[in-house]
Structure formats: structure tokens, C-alpha cells
Amino acid sequence: MIMNCKDFFAGKKILIMGLGILGRGVNVAKFLAERRAELTITDLKTEEQLASSLKKLKKIPNIKYVLGRHDLADFSDKDMVIKAAGVPLNSPYIAEAIKNKIPVEMDASLFVKLTTTWTLNVQVVGITGARGKSTVTHLIYAILEEAFKKAKQKVYLGGNVRGLASLPLLKKVKDGDVVVMELDSWQLQGFGEAKISPNIAVFTTFLPDHQNYYKNDMERYFSDKANIYRWQKRGDWLIAGSGAAKVIKEKDKNGAKWKTAKMSKKNIPHGWKIKLLGGHNLINIALAVEVARKLGIKEAVIKKTVENFKGLPGRLEFIRETKGVKYYNDTTATTPEAALAALDSLKEYKGKIILIGGGADKNLEYKEYAQEVKKYIKALILFKGAATDKIISALGKTKFPVESVDSMEKAMEIARANSKKGDIILLSPAAASFGVFKNEFDRGERFNKAVKKLKGRLFIQNKKSGKYH
């Protein structure tokens, strides 16, 4: 297997389009450099913006960097272009590569394509959806990790997982292993181009998202998502949440070619002790459980893992309680529907929730969100951005305070000033992070840092000065 990697990439002139700062591009570059590929890395971000990633590649010689721009000439003389997920397929630079008959690949889909080409018997489980895909991915991984403790089989994570790249798994995987891949709509474009789908496909939910990228074309958005099952072969499975299954039936005349299982929270065995909050997480668990069953995992192992699973950072994550106020980090809730799911999960605290949200717009609609939010919260703090403008407009007059801020520190000050014993302070943005923060992870980390710095007292507002102390 290792020889295959070396032989395939050695001496190839490869252009990495989009290094990024979350680690995936760095790991792809390291892997290719180890296999003696000739690398060029290009990114619209500047050297300063990419400093953390460039530092990790400092010891690798002979990498050509084109930063702060792309050069058309770099897309005319390469053996392969590996583009980051967010680069649109209609990019003029990608068009130039295609014109010059240069293969355009993506990390996750190239990994799956090569395992297939090299006839490796590796099971690929792919998970997509507007909500829930990270939770389902990591729960499946946790179940398989527990099941394979004493087995020769190994399980690996890939796809849209922070800091991980899929191509380096080519060094590790062997016959019988399972790779669990979280896949967003952009990554699934690569699967569509390669005409491949995972052996087991999971489609959690289908709701509006990334419409700034898709320009309000929900059909195109669905079409990219549908690559999760569109190229499956006989014996493969599609496992869908009940809502997603309904959308698939409506939008795809051909539907899934092979076996389909429709899941809901009713599919969880009675009596299991679930730690995750919210009805939406019950559906997530049901999906993960069904995948494990399809892979032949014993029910006792599944039950044990599900009952011990505490969820993921930044997904309705309980951070701490101080002075009777509880703090939850739900920074990955970047759509109105996701934020409303968090509020519904905390519905026993109706009227006691101080919500921190807002930010950059992804061309999403906020009218229904604004009306629903009013049922749950006692105060709303919004990070400045186009989505915040939409939310404020949709809210109209409110009986609760609405504040617009440009920092997490200010948001926390106001939240604390409006809180009392028995309240919830919830970060659940319903919007993108860009503008105020580097990304959603930066937003969540700043929230956690601010919460952990609290010294167990409430801020009090001076009515005359308006300042908090």
C-alpha cells in the first residue's frame, strides 16, 4: 500500500489550491511531500494570514508558494490540482486546469477513488446533512473504536473533520478497515466528479445553508448533497433521517438505487440512558446506531457507547455553572434551524435564556427564526454583521433587550448584566462567524475562555453611566 502511494505521487507536479488555517491543507502538503511530489501551494490568503500553517511546513524544502493571489500560469503545467472544498468548480482557475486537461481532485474523494482503484477492501461510511453530521460521524467512530478494541480491524476518521486530511490515511488503511467520513456539500462535489459514493451513506437532514455560495439555488445544493448516495453500488446502503428521506423522495426521481433505511427517534431502543440534549440528537443517535448494526456490531457495544457519549465541543456543550447561571457553547449552530433546535433542547428554561448570536450572512432567511426566538429568550445579544441586520429587522419591537456588539468580551458583559440565578447563557449564533471572528471555532474558543475567566459574580450595570462593574 505504501509503495502504491509512493509510486503514484512521486515526481508529480501537484498544485494545492487553498492551504487554509485549520490544518487539512497542511496535512495534505506534508503527505505529498513525503511521497516526493513537486508541490506548489496557492491561496488567496496572505502570508501573514497563513502564518500558523506556513510555520508547520517550514522544514519542508522546495515548496513553491503563491500567496495573496492565484496565477493562471500555475494551472497550465501541472500533473494534478488538489483544490480545497470551498473553491467553486466554476472558478476561472479550475477552468484553466480543465482546459489544459489537468485532473482536478479533492482530498476526501481522491482518497476514496484511490482505495477503489487499488482494490482495497475498505468500508467507507459517509455522513452529510445540514445538521447533525458531526455528531453522527463521531458517534459512529466511537462505536466502531469500542467494537474493534481487540480486533485486527481499525477505524479512521476523515472528510470534514477539523485538522484532519483524508489522503494521509492511504499510509494506514488495510483490507477490512472502516473509514468514517463527515462530508459537506463542497466535498461531495468531488465525489460527483469521480462518480463514487460511500458504501454506507448517511443523510441526516436537508435544510437551507451556504446559500451565499449556492446563490439561493436549493436544487444545486441538494444535487451536491445527493452525491452521497447517487453512485452507490449493489449491496450499499443509504440511511436517512425521516425528514431527509422525504426530501430525497420529492427531489430525486431516481432516488437511491439500492437499499434505504428511514430513521427517526422512535428507532432508539426503549430504556437507553441518553446524555445528549434535544430531540434532534435522538435522530442523530438512531442514524449512528443503524450504521453500526449494518456493520455487524453487537448491540451491547452499541448501547454502551451511546450511553457514554457526551457529544462534541461547540455543539450544545455545557461549559460551566457559576452563581446559578449555566453556560452553553453551541457555536457550530450556523443556521437559524440549528439555533432553534438548541433553544428547543433547553425549552424547560423558556423565558430564562440569554441568547448570544448573529454575525455574517449566508443568504439565509430569518423571519421564522425571529418569531420563534421570542418564545424562549429574555435578552438577545448579536454580533455585528449582515445576518444580525436581518434578525433585528425581522424581530421588530421586542419586550426584551436586543444589543449589537463587536466582541465576545462585550457580549459576555451584557449577558452577565442581564442574568440571574436559574438563567441560561447560550451561544447559538444562527449565522456565520466571519467579520468578528476567524471562524466558528475561534468564536467558540473565545466564548469558553470568557466563561472560564468568570469569578463567580454577576456584572451590575450602573444606570447613570451605562457601564458594567
Burial of 393 (0-12, 13-18, 19+ CB in 10 A): exposed
Could you tell me the pLDDT band of residue 3, with boundaries at 50, 70 and 90? very low
The predicted structure's pLDDT at residue 270: 87
Domain stop point among 308, 340, 363? 308
Per residue in 201-215, pLDDT (tens digit) is 999 998 666 666 677
Q: How far is CA 380 from the centre of its chain?
A: 25
* CA torsion angle 406 412 413 419 (round to 10): 140
Whether the per-residue pLDDT at 460 is higher than 90: the answer is no
Q: Within this chain, do residues 113 and 201 fall inside the same structural domain, yes or no?
A: yes
Q: Within this chain, do residues 190 and 244 fall inside the same structural domain, yes or no?
A: yes
The predicted structure's pLDDT at residue 306: 96
In a domain, 4, yes or no: no
Strands 13-17 and 80-83: parallel
- CATH number of the domain that residue 197 is part of: 3.40.1190.10
Domain stop point among 308, 342, 375? 308
Per residue in 229-259, pLDDT (tens digit) is 999 999 999 999 988 988 899 888 777 777 8
Per residue in 41-95, pLDDT (tens digit) is 999 999 999 999 999 999 998 899 999 999 999 999 999 999 998 888 789 999 9
Residue range(s) defining the domain that contains residue 72:
12-105
In a domain, 460, yes or no: no
Whether the per-residue pLDDT at 159 is higher than 50: the answer is yes
In the chain, the number of structural domains is 3
* CA torsion angle 196 202 205 207 (round to 10): -10
Whether the per-residue pLDDT at 469 is higher than 60: the answer is no
Could you tell me the pLDDT band of residue 456, with boundaries at 50, 70 and 90? low
In a domain, 7, yes or no: no
- Number of Cβ atoms within 10 Å of the Cβ of 180: 30
